[in-house]
Every structure is written in C-alpha cells, then in structure tokens.
Amino acid sequence: MRLLNQGWGSIKRCLPVLFAISFAAVVLLENLLFSATAQIPQFTSQEIRGVWLTNNDFDILRDRTKLRDAIAQLQRLNFNTIYPVVWNDGYTKYPSAVAQRVGIPFFFKGAQGQDVLADIIAVSHSQGLLVIPWFEFGFMVPLTSELASNRPDWLTQKNDGTKTSISAAGEVAWLNPFHPEVQKFIKDLVVEMVARYNVDGVQFDDNMSLPVDFGYDEYTIKLYVQETGNRPPSNPQAQAWMQWRADKLTAFMIDLYQAVKATKPNAIFSISPNYYDFAYKFQLQDWLNWVRMGIVDELVMQVYRDDLQSFYSKITRPEIVETQKLIPTAVGIIAGLRNRPVSMSQIQSQVRAAQQRGLGVTFFYYETLWEYASEPATQRQEGFLSLFPNPARRDRSQITVLKPNFNSAVLPLYTTASVGQRARSYFLEVAVAGGPPTRVLLDTGSAGLRVSKEFLGKIPVRKTGKIVKEILNDGTILQGELIYAHVRIGPIPTKEPIPVHLVTTRQCLSQKPNCSAKSGTPFSGIIGVNYSEQTLPYNPLRKLPGNFNNGFIVTGNGGSDSNGRLTVGLTARNQEGFKMASWSQQPAISGIPGKRWDLGLKEVCLTIAGSSMNNSCNSKMVFDTGSTNGLIELKSPSLAGKLKPGRLRPENTVQVSMNNVFDYTVVPGNRDGFDVWNVNISPRLEHAAVINSGIAFFDKYDVLFDPINGKQGFRDRFDAQPTFEKL
C-alpha cells in the first residue's frame, strides 16, 4: 500500500481510476450525498478511525519523544486505531527469527536501538488506541532484496518470462503465493509477530495478492497441469485460470486466518484491498468471498479519489453494503503526499460521506494529516476534531470467531481427477484432515465421502473401528474403516468432523468381474451427495456451515473442457427459473441429520422408439452425476418389445419427460457420457421402468436438490441464461 514521493500521477492508488470499468454515473450534489442512509447499520462501538504509519513516517516512529507526541495527538483528536508498517522492502520492522532463517539479516530499529513495534504498542495502548500491524508488502518483494536473491525459486513470473512489475514501490518481484515454502514463510512471519507482541490484530492490503499477469513460473504451471490436465492459457485473464489462482489465494487466506486465531483468538484479522471488481480482475483478490466465509474481522477498502462523486460511487457499491452488515467496515482515504497535498475540505467531504453511510475511515498516511498540507497544522487538527468530536473506543474483546454469513457459493466441478481419471465425470475438490486438496468424483446417486488413506493430512482423526462395505453400480466393492475427520469442501470447512469411509481395499463382485477395481487404476475418491442415505456415511454437504447445507445446484459444462459448477446454498435468487417436482420422504435413520428422501421422481413419462414404451408415465427417474451413461431398466421383456438388452441404437430415440417440469430427448450413439444409453430387463422393479439419466442430462438442465422441502428443480439452460452468485 506504500505511496512514494514521485508525484500524484505515478501513484498506485490512483491506478484504479484508469482501469476501472465505468459504472452508472452518480449525479448527485454534495449536499445530497449525505442523505437517505437510515438502512445502513452503525457499528458505534467498533467505528474505525484509523491512520497508517508508513516508511515515510519512520523518523517519527524511531524517535521515542516524537512517537509519544504523535500518539497523544491522535488520541486528543479521537482516533482509535493505528496501522504501523511491519513488513516492506523485504525487511521487518521488528527483530524476526523467521526472517533471519531465510537470510534476511537486517531489521529496522529505533534511534536508541529500541524495538520500534514494542514501543508503538506500549505508547498506543497507554492512550487507548488499538495497534494492528500492517504487512504492507504481502507477497511483493524488491528483486534486489536478500529474500529474492536467496530464494529465486520462490519467485513467480509472467508468461513472457518477466519477473517484475512496476508498482508504487518501484520495480518489484512477486513471491509465488502458491508455493508451499512461500506460504509457510509468510504464515510463520505473521504468527511470530502475533505471538510475540501484544498486538490487537494484523492487517493485509492489496499486496497480499498476485497481479493477474503472473503465475507462469515452473512450479505453478506444473501444479495447474497436475490439477486440471491443461497448461495455463496464454491469456492471463482467462476465466478458469483466474478462478484457479484466486481460489488458491483464498485457501491460503483461510489457512492464515486459522493460524492467527489459533495463536490469538480475539486478534482482529483486517484486510485493506481495492474495490472488489478491480481487486479480483487485476489482483486475484476474491475478498468478498473472504468476508462471506467469515475469515475477515474488519475491512478497510482503499478509495483514493479526488472527485467526490467517484468516491461516493465506490463506497455505495453492493459489496460494501453487504460487508458492513457483517463486520466493521471503513474507507481508506488519501490525506496527501509530501509533494501533493490534499485540501482539508476534500478530506472532510469524503469523511462525512463515509460517516453518513455508516462507514469508518482510515487515512493514508500520518505525516500528511497536518505536516505536509497547504493549511496550517492547527487548522488541519481542528478540522479532524470537527469530524471526530467524541471518543469512539474500540474493544478487542468483542471480536469473536465469525461464522460464514453468506448464503450461497459456487464451486468449480473439474473435468479431471487428482488420481484415477475416469471417463467423462465431474470432480469436486476436498481436503480431509488437513490434507492436500484432492479432486474426488461428485456423485448425486450415492451418499458419503469415500477416500483412500493417501488423502489424509496430519490433523488427528477419530477412528471408530467400524468396517464399512459399499458396492458401486459397476460392481466395485469398496471396503474400509469409518472415521470422523474435519473436511474442507472447496474452500468451505465443515462445521464439525464428519464421517469418512477410509477405503483400504477394492475388488469386483463375482457377477461383475470387469468392474473399475480390475484395472488397478488408483481410486479417485467419491463424494456422494444423495439425500436417500441408507446408512453412514451420510451426505457430507449436510454438515456445511450456515446456509450452505440447505441444498445445491449442479450445472454441467456441455461436454467442453470448461469446468462445471456446484452451487451450495439455495437462495431465492439462485432458484429463479426452476420448475419443481417433489420427492417422497423416507424414515429417519439415527445418526443422519435432516430429512431423508427418495430422490427417484415418480410418474415420469418414457418413450423408446422401437419398443412398447410409448409415453408410458409409470416410470421412476434418478439424476446421477456418478453414472457416465444413461440406463433404462424395464420391468418385463414385453415392455422392451423387439429391443434386446444392451446398448440402444440411433433409431431407438429416448424421450423422458415430466409434465411442466422437463422434457429431455436424446438420440443414442456411441460417445460415453453424451449419448450412450443401455437397456436392461429387471423383473423385481416396482415401476414399469427405472431411468438413470447419466451425466449428459446435466448439460441441458441445471438440476437443483432441496432437502429441506423435499423438492428437485430443473432449469433448461438453453431457454434462459440464469444469473449465478459468485463465491
């Protein structure tokens, strides 16, 4: 976040003005900007009145007398939070064993050799101000620094091999945020500081990110190929490539948040990004996702603008309105630079606009509050006092671990597994017991998470000693112990340990000797998300936190190389356009939460050209992402007519429909996952026919599963383009 003294035009904080996509103009007079805010929540006891203490302020920070005077003045003017820089230019502002271990020999000391951070904390706390150290550089590092020189393999690069970018700090390199050693270094650095000092929290700004052009280093390319089966596209803004990197950053921020909270539970985990569109598109910072996931305790969004209307348009954006309903929220305001002062009238108009919206404010940076200004210092100080006439103390004890507050999230469904690639399928990324994220088969036809022991991490699991045996449709027998473990589905952790079938052996039924176990292909794992469980383990989506456990939507990819989508958490918005049908409720089973349902829809109409099935509406149908091809089981040979059991031919067009719900027609062919359909005779059926749609159905229809109300929904993807809520 640092601003250099190189003129306003070269300042990073003004770049969003040049890059931002234009939104609807805010044509309001200044006196109208401060009205109609009754619906905005007010966090009076947690109102943020802050200031960043930067490298430019270091002459003050290193001198004990000047520091005491500065903090006392801030207290008199009713400020309540300071954000002192502790990590920039590849150095710390405190003695760090973590930094020394990676060859960083130097740290900033005070004029008398004192620990600057310890002094800031002691003086600030004596005046009642919170201290939230600011890791300004995040993953950014000068190319000439010891860290970059000693660890060149930690750096990432652009597609053309360029290793640096131009920032407000000059030409800089970027640590690879996807490299485990880089992640460990940053996490260790943060935890060391939080554990060692009596800080009130920690803050990360827009440099805890990666410029969208980066990520083409050897390590990241290899990881991307391993997880997706594809090389990164040459276009750095390709959607799937951006999402993959943004999701990796999110996973790291979750890990960092958890590490901070494990060290100091009531530490404030603060972020200070740019506005969301810019942050995500250009810096891969999906910070609204972080807020919704409950891993952010306060937000200070940087809004460095001269024009009041432009300023106002940013602080009224939907993501700000949403965020301030959840956590203390503030706006970062530019107070000036040494060679570019900002008038007190501009500062006051922006602060008042923020206050009228129920937002706090934080100023960049201390010396420009009144030292580098066109007005006299006393006039500036009187101006700040008029903005903050009364004290507003912040109480860190009120900070508690937040629960996810957002209602819906969209997770990618990958076309490749981490191991044991099957034919066309969808794979969801999960992590078990802190293990590596692994892609397992998404199966709407079964219930329970089944993985091999190689998937487990180092977080302790609870063993039950119970042996579970599961038989898959293709005749594969999975056998192993039932354990309980913490699981992360995509970036979302379950709210408690859940049952996991730890598969140790696979074999084939004697009746189906050519099952998947015969080939010796590694087991990719299965996450079964069906709600008609027969026994444990149950559908793990039932144990997602917040609104996430109330249902989901599966969206296919049309057979392309793009990812499909799993939307967890049903809302009024994401259910728009669905036509609904009802399930039948099943008896409860002890140990399985929620209601159980028979997910086979009844009274489905079936027509098979060349058979006796002609719009027969006494059929039952299931919708199964775990089945590559379509399958029709008929109760009697008479229903098949002249058809023989086995694969259907192109002349045997299949049509399945449900009145005013869906109407699906397919011409059988020979492409697995697209048009292969088989027919069997099964005399024990309760219905004339039972139909398994196979995965291709999800290309035409978005399919909704609602376990609360016992309903299934279908939305034709070719009739309308629905809106999706981004995680």
In this structure, how many other beta carbons lie within 10 angstroms of the beta carbon of residue 104? 18
Q: Is residue 566 assigned to a domain?
A: no
Which residue is listed with tokens 């945020």? 177
Are 382 and 437 part of one and the same domain? Answer: no
Interval 212-223 mean pLDDT? 96
Q: Give residue 522's pLDDT band: very low, low, confident or very high (50, 70, 90).
A: confident
Is residue 302 within 8 A of residue 342, CB to CB? The reply is no
Q: Which of 536, 560, 584 corresponds to the end of one domain?
A: 560
Q: How far is 567 from 251, CA to CA, in rounded Å?
A: 18
How, if at all, do strands 340-341 and 336-337 pair? antiparallel
Give the CATH number, domain containing residue 640: 2.40.70.10
Residue 397 has a pLDDT of 67
Q: pLDDT digit string (tens) for 66-125?
A: 999 999 999 999 999 999 999 999 999 999 999 999 999 888 888 889 999 999 999 999
For the chain, percent of residues with pLDDT exceeding 90: 69
Interval 351-374 mean pLDDT? 94
Is residue 310 within 8 A of residue 303, CB to CB? The reply is no
Which runs of consecutive H residues, i.e. helices, occur in 331-392? 344-356, 377-387
Are 419 and 320 part of one and the same domain? Answer: no
Q: Over 80: is that where the pLDDT of 33 sits?
A: no
Q: Which residues contact 446 (CB under 8 A, 6 or more apart)?
A: 470, 472, 526, 528, 530, 626
Q: How far is 425 from 440, CA to CA, in rounded Å?
A: 10
Are 190 and 293 part of one and the same domain? Answer: yes
Q: Is residue 183 assigned to a domain?
A: yes
Are 337 and 271 part of one and the same domain? Answer: yes
Q: Over 70: is that where the pLDDT of 439 sits?
A: yes
Q: Which of 398, 418, 452 corresponds to the end of one domain?
A: 398
> How many domains does the structure of the chain reveal?
3
Are 357 and 418 part of one and the same domain? Answer: no
Range of the domain at 631: 597-716
Are 60 and 85 part of one and the same domain? Answer: yes
Residue 373 has a pLDDT of 86
Residue 400 has a pLDDT of 60
Give the CATH number, domain containing residue 270: 3.20.20.80
Q: How far is 659 from 250, CA to CA, in rounded Å?
A: 43
Is residue 438 within 8 A of residue 449, CB to CB? The reply is no
Q: How far is 6 from 121, CA to CA, in rounded Å?
A: 31
Q: Is residue 366 assigned to a domain?
A: yes
For the chain, percent of residues with pLDDT exceeding 70: 91
Q: Which residues contact 345 (CB under 8 A, 6 or more apart)?
A: none
Q: Is residue 223 assigned to a domain?
A: no
Are 362 and 440 part of one and the same domain? Answer: no
Q: Is residue 592 assigned to a domain?
A: no
Which backbone phi and psi does 253 adopt, to 5 degrees?
-65, -35
Are 433 and 375 part of one and the same domain? Answer: no
Are 193 and 334 part of one and the same domain? Answer: yes
Is the pLDDT higher at 172 or at 514?
172
Q: Which of 371, 398, 425 corresponds to the end of one domain?
A: 398
Are 360 and 490 part of one and the same domain? Answer: no
Q: Is residue 208 assigned to a domain?
A: yes
Q: Is residue 369 assigned to a domain?
A: yes
What DSSP string describes 293-342?
Answer: TT--SEEEEE---SSHHHHHHHHTSHHHHHHHTTS-EEEEEE-EETTEE-
Is residue 476 within 8 A of residue 470, CB to CB? The reply is no
Q: State whether residue 562 is helix, strand or coil.
A: coil
Name the token pair of 169: 């700090």
Are 392 and 532 part of one and the same domain? Answer: no
Which residue is listed with tokens 């959607």? 239
Q: How far is 703 from 716, CA to CA, in rounded Å?
A: 9
Q: Is residue 575 assigned to a domain?
A: no
Are 242 and 378 part of one and the same domain? Answer: yes
> What is the three-state SS of 630-646?
EEEEECCHHHHCCCCCE
Q: pLDDT digit string (tens) for 443-464?
A: 999 999 999 998 898 888 999 9
